[in-house]
Chain A
């Protein structure tokens, strides 16, 4: 084989994960991104849409239009895609619990453009297991969730044949601390669970087609050689799985196809300009070797650890892709790692580890039954990662080494280098949905919801036709989800923290902290008790979990209830549990609304305890939170959890009059 390709390869699909404020504003952004050379769409939905609440729901407060676009009904989807030809667009929707609903809205919006569903191409993420494990935007219990996925696969294979109804998403597993071995093993175990569920709902002759329609959505970290090996290992395992477990023979169907969003976990708040080179190296991990090259790529922006990126920040990331694809010679060669001893060795190592870990998941009953096992393993891995960073074993430039810096001109100017969503958006969206409900044919909507409720309770029927009919009838996102919640029940995923192992002994700082916790507990008469709460719809619980585990390791009693709590729930827990301090974690940008709301609920119940906040909090908002009565604010640059705990204990001692350390 020649060391050159006869023809330069076509570049991958270039996307930018985008959406905010309203459908109209996001449409404007999409059109501008496409005019800059972006070749596919990647829709970011806001948290209420992802978890199935309308903008006027109590749980949606503070979250509307924040981390993505609100799509509450057919009208929003039509506005979002206005002027974008859907027969020629390849659209990725990061949507999971409500994926069936959003696909239905997409199909209906296409109808409106005169495009039949057979012509649509793209993907819905639709991977619920990783929502239970890492991302938190689930809505229904595991079993009915798996049924919805299987229904979508069965429907899409027949009626929307170019659509990938599921992309198995290991991206968020790495964000939650997964090692490469865990990322591979849990993604494959997850795929097995999905395929096994789908296999029961389609005729046997369609199984290879179903297999061929499953794609993956992976992560790539900065250790880019090993990360590339990970993708090669995944394609080997995938082909093996197809042949052995599902009897697939068509080589095209056996190809491991994946899209990527490179790592956000490793992006730093301090010296954020360094994130640009991290992103470039991570992009190499998924493009360098032709045999395991990404089909679609989206890159985060340099300032993601600070807040929401602006259009200019996203343009920068798109330009990285374009330089890689069009300026360099990357696409001119066959696989550059063929015959590499290092690469083959790494792949073999990862395969061994992944097979062993897949066997462990299988022993726990597979990916659905094994959620608790995998969750606890991820919490442990993440804690180990943080420990290595705290101790300096793992170098993060600009954070735990080479931390001195000139002031960054990128952060100057009004807004501090990030996008802020106008709080009027939520008010307008509340009014808009009321108008929508008032103006639609309510009899048609009621009838569609009744039919949906019936089908939901008939597990042998496919949910999609009733869902598409409901989308046409003007039903809202919240109504669709409520009908299914009524049929399926509510669910809270495991937090993983209960099972997390105790910290290793021999850590002097932690030992000193324990002594201080003992002293303060003795003085207070009760063990220091902390409530760790996550208000709002943000499901990124990794930070809160690590805080909870460290607080326990420091000797505190920790009340942690998981994600998605209203301010009233948090305040009621603080009162009933008699905690000495409350710690709140928010990453979705809704802290400006939700933190003051929690403070007000605490005051209403006369709960007089200090409140500390952690999360992605822009500098400009720190003063605002302090003015609302928050005692301390921590951001990603505060990476030393033991030090945070020491502050918290000192705060408790001071607040409740337990003196100062001896």
Chain B
């Protein structure tokens, strides 16, 4: 726990595909201890596109949706499906009930079943960033770092609205999970509260007609707001599970056509802004001339830079030592 392996070495181990280094990497990335912040920066530097020579290969997938939609059961089936394809999987499960101001009960990993001897699966529960479903800076950094080691990195969040926006900023592919009969999602989509997801998953397909109708309604809603490319899939996580392979393919398909460097660039810049905001708050942003000015600064920065480098850039600009 009080390991002193330096950050660049942890990064090198992850880059070499040593999944055993992942828990330690997460401990370092989550830590606010001064010594760990330096290790964290070195770790992220070692995994930056500049250091790798390309974007990290892992597929960053955001899975989000309202409570009770069946995300965890679905995830359980998805993890098994990816493992059957011999892909390694990391899941960052963001707990909605917790705030960074106090303790939290992190129970989500219980619902994802996997063989504990299988080192190709990692599940880490993390706390949300003080607001419902929002992502903590460490979660963004962790997802980007793990993408250099795992074939698939899932960030699972709860809720519709903020969490969906945060995940969209971070992930290569966003899947929104809803259960049949959840009219909210339909309303959120139509009213623009919710961004158009890359894949929309209707769970509980075993419910039959209700699920079919939900799928039809959502497809129609998506068409009406220009989300023609969004695949809408019906799945059932109950035995016999159905639709899981189709979902894996739909996620792959989206990843194949996405402009990865553009998405990742946006992701790193959003991570930097979130970290800067968490560290320096409103006062820090004012020193930069506001959030839009901060965004312009980031947009002008080196596209290969990792998040901590971008944070330092903002700090220099704001004249914060």
A interface list, Cβ under 8 A from B: 141, 486-490, 492, 495, 497-498, 514, 517, 523-527, 548-549, 551-562, 566, 568-569, 571-573, 575-578, 580, 608-609, 655-657
Give CA–CA (A10, B169) in the complex, Å.
75
Q: Can you report 8 residue pairs joining A to B where beta carbons are below 8 Å apart? A: A487-B239, A524-B31, A548-B105, A557-B127, A572-B117, A577-B106, A577-B125, A578-B24
Given contacts A489-B239, A490-B113, A568-B117, contact A525 B107 (CB under 8 A): no
Give CA–CA (A566, B31) in the complex, Å.
29
Contact A497 B116 (CB under 8 A): no
Contact A557 B104 (CB under 8 A): yes
Q: Mark B84-111, 1 if CB is under 8 A from A, else 0.
A: 0000000000000110001111110111
Contact A580 B239 (CB under 8 A): no
**B109 touches which one: A514, A548, A559 (CB < 8 A)?**
A559
Total residue contacts A-B, CB cutoff 8 A? 104
Chain B residues positioned under 8 Å from A575 (CB to CB): 23
B interface list, Cβ under 8 A from A: 1-2, 22-24, 26-27, 30-33, 35-36, 97-98, 102-107, 109-111, 113, 116-117, 122-125, 127, 238-239
**B125 touches which one: A553, A559, A655 (CB < 8 A)?**
A559
Give CA–CA (A560, B98) in the complex, Å.
14
Contact B109 A573 (CB under 8 A): yes
Chain B residues positioned under 8 Å from A486 (CB to CB): 239
Chain A CB count within 10 A is highest, among B30, B31, B109, for B109
Q: Which chain B residue shows the least CB distance to A528?
A: B103
Contact B117 A557 (CB under 8 A): no
Contact B109 A577 (CB under 8 A): yes
Contact B31 A525 (CB under 8 A): yes
- If A552-B104, A558-B104, A558-B106 are given as contacts, then 9 extra A-B residue pairs at C-beta distance below 8 Å, sorted by A number, are A497-B107, A525-B31, A527-B127, A559-B106, A560-B110, A562-B107, A562-B110, A578-B23, A656-B1
- In order of increasing CB-CB distance, the 3 nearest A-B pairs are A525-B33, A525-B31, A572-B116
Give CA–CA (A523, B34) in the complex, Å.
10
Contact B30 A526 (CB under 8 A): yes
Give CA–CA (A487, B239) in the complex, Å.
7
**B111 touches which one: A489, A492, A526 (CB < 8 A)?**
A492
Given contacts A566-B116, A568-B117, contact A498 B103 (CB under 8 A): no
Contact B103 A553 (CB under 8 A): yes
**B107 touches which one: A487, A498, A526, A568 (CB < 8 A)?**
A498
Given contacts A578-B27, A578-B124, contact A495 B110 (CB under 8 A): yes
Contact B32 A551 (CB under 8 A): no
Interface of chain B, main secondary structure: mixed
Give CA–CA (A578, B126) in the complex, Å.
11
Q: Which chain A residue shows the least CB distance to B31?
A: A525
**B116 touches which one: A492, A571, A655 (CB < 8 A)?**
A571
Chain A residues positioned under 8 Å from B102 (CB to CB): 514, 552, 555
Q: Which chain A residue shows the least CB distance to B22?
A: A576
Q: Which chain B residue shows the least CB distance to A556?
A: B103
Give CA–CA (A486, B238) in the complex, Å.
11
Give CA–CA (A132, B122) in the complex, Å.
28
Chain A residues positioned under 8 Å from B26 (CB to CB): 578
Chain A residues positioned under 8 Å from B98 (CB to CB): 557
Closest Cβ of chain A to B28, distance in Å, is 9
Closest Cβ of chain B to A544, distance in Å, is 12
Given contacts A525-B32, A566-B116, A578-B23, contact A561 B107 (CB under 8 A): yes
Give CA–CA (A418, B262) in the complex, Å.
68
Chain B CB count within 10 A is highest, among A525, A549, A566, A655, for A525
Closest Cβ of chain A to B274, distance in Å, is 18
Chain B residues positioned under 8 Å from A578 (CB to CB): 1, 23-24, 26-27, 30, 124
Q: Which chain B residue shows the least CB distance to A143?
A: B238
Give CA–CA (A576, B33) in the complex, Å.
20
Contact A527 B97 (CB under 8 A): no
Chain B CB count within 10 A is highest, among A489, A497, A573, A578, for A578
Give CA–CA (A375, B122) in the complex, Å.
29
Given contacts A555-B102, A559-B106, contact A526 B113 (CB under 8 A): no
Q: Which chain A residue shows the least CB distance to B24?
A: A578
**B103 touches which one: A492, A523, A555, A655 (CB < 8 A)?**
A555
Contact B103 A517 (CB under 8 A): yes
Closest Cβ of chain B to A513, distance in Å, is 11
Contact A560 B105 (CB under 8 A): yes
Closest Cβ of chain B to A17, distance in Å, is 30
Chain A residues positioned under 8 Å from B2 (CB to CB): 656-657
Give CA–CA (A94, B27) in the complex, Å.
45
Give CA–CA (A562, B111) in the complex, Å.
10
Chain A residues positioned under 8 Å from B122 (CB to CB): 576
**A526 touches which one: B24, B32, B116, B124 (CB < 8 A)?**
B32
Contact B107 A576 (CB under 8 A): no
Chain A residues positioned under 8 Å from B124 (CB to CB): 576-578
**B105 touches which one: A141, A517, A523, A558 (CB < 8 A)?**
A558
Chain A residues positioned under 8 Å from B33 (CB to CB): 523-526
